[in-house]
Amino acid sequence: MLRDVYRKAGVLDTGSYLTTVNELCDQLPALRPELLWYVASHLRARVDLNSISKILVEEDKGAPIGTAVSLLSGLPLAMARHYTYAFPSLRVDFSSEYDRSTLHVNGIVAGDRVCIVDDTLSTGGTVAALVRAVRAEGATVEHVAVVVEKAGNGGRELLEDELGVAVHSLLSIKVVPDGVHVLEGIA
Check which CATH number belongs to the domain holding 34 and give it. Answer: 3.40.50.2020
The b/e string for 39-71 (b: 16+ C-beta within 10 A; e otherwise) is: bbebbbeebebeebbbbbbbebbbbbbbbbbbe
Residues found in the chain:
187
Predicted TM-score (pTM) of the model is 0.90
Q: Give the pLDDT score at 93.
A: 55
* Rounded Cα distance, 135 and 41, in Å: 27
Instruction: Label residue 184 by pLDDT band (50, 70, 90).
Output: confident
Residues spanned by the domain of 33: 2-185
- Paired strand residues for 58: 80
- Please state the domain count of the chain: 1
Report the 10 Å Cβ neighbour count for 85.
9
Angle (CA) 80 86 91, round 5°: 35
pLDDT at 31 over 80: yes
